């Protein structure tokens, strides 16, 4: 059993899907968790579920593209639970569009959340986690990238660019924080198709682009692209985050954990 008692975690994009499952898993392991999301009602429901199950959780409205809200989010962990040991940069948006049709506004919107938001998160988390910071004990930063950050897929050019950026940011931060002696590990997780609302939207968007004839065809072919023969569940990703948050991974930094049923190696 992984024991996170005494640890404080912050999870972005925690109102549903992978983020909500990560928050629940960390809380079940004993961490006190701050959940952030732009969806206030759903986010508070997840926090209440954690509290009803005996855990400690607080929800904060949090737009990751807004630096002031990042400061408030990190301060919520410090003020309410007395520290910050774990940050999970899960929040992200997806855009499905052929590159010849993209707009600058769409690019900027996606990058503001998927890249800028993650960069700002590192800035304020490390200030709290590093020696001399308000938490000051080091910790673990876990970034949600994607298989789209490893391989190319039609219709996902901007999204792939953002997730590739998260992949290399993870490695740069791991080296930087290590060399500076901050005691902060940084690793990334790269899921394949996971059964979430975002995953369902992706299938329907592919159909809208004419890549598949209907949703069922999209699911069948996408599932077949994973040689293991199954798609992922939010709990599959939450278990990896739990491992990276714990001392079981204390010698891992700059690593990329791929959970895709062998999709990217076939």
- Residues with catalytic roles: 159
Q: Are 22 and 87 in contact (CB under 8 A)?
A: no
For 242, the token pair is 């739990």
Query: What Cα–Cα distance (Å) separates residue 88 from each residue in 138, 201, 204, 211?
Result: 14, 23, 28, 33
Q: Are 126 and 169 in contact (CB under 8 A)?
A: no
Side-by-side strand order, sheet with 256-259: 57-61, 32-37, 8-12, 86-89, 139-144, 184-191, 256-259
Rounded to whole angstroms, the Cα distance separating 10 from 111 reads 21
Query: In the block, which residue shows the tokens 């301060």?
Result: 75
Query: What Cα–Cα distance (Å) separates residue 73 from each residue in 44, 49, 120, 136, 189?
Result: 14, 20, 12, 17, 22
How many CB atoms sit inside 10 A of residue 214's CB? 11
Which among 195, 246, 225, 186 has a CA at the least distance from the CA of 21? 195
Look up residue 182 and give its DSSP letter: -
Burial class (CB in 10 A: 0-12, 13-18, 19+), 68: exposed
């Amino acid at each position: 059993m992984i024991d996170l008692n005494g640890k404080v975690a912050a999870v972005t994009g925690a109102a549903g899907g992978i983020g909500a499952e990560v928050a629940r898993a960390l809380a079940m392991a004993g961490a006190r968790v701050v959940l952030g999301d732009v969806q206030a009602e759903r986010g508070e429901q997840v926090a209440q579920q954690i509290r009803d199950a005996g855990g400690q959780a607080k929800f904060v409205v949090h737009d990751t593209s807004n630096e002031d809200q990042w400061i408030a989010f990190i301060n919520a962990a410090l003020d309410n639970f007395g520290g910050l040991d774990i940050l999970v940069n899960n929040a992200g948006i997806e855009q499905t569009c052929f590159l010849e049709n993209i707009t600058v506004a769409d690019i900027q919107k996606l990058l503001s959340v998927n890249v800028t938001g993650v960069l700002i998160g590192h800035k304020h988390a490390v200030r709290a986690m590093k020696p001399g910071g308000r938490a000051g004990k080091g910790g673990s930063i876990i970034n949600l990238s994607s298989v789209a950050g490893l391989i190319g897929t039609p219709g996902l050019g901007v999204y792939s660019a953002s997730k590739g950026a998260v992949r290399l940011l993870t490695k740069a931060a791991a080296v930087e924080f290590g060399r500076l002696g901050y005691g902060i590990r940084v690793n990334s997780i790269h899921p394949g198709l996971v059964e979430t609302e975002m995953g369902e939207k992706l299938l329907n968007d592919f159909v809208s682009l004419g890549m598949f004839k209907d949703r069922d065809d999209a699911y069948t072919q996408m599932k077949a692209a994973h040689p293991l023969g199954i798609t992922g569940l939010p709990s599959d990703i939450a278990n990896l985050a739990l491992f990276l948050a714990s001392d079981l991974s204390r010698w891992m930094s700059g690593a990329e954990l791929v959970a895709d049923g062998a999709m990217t190696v076939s």
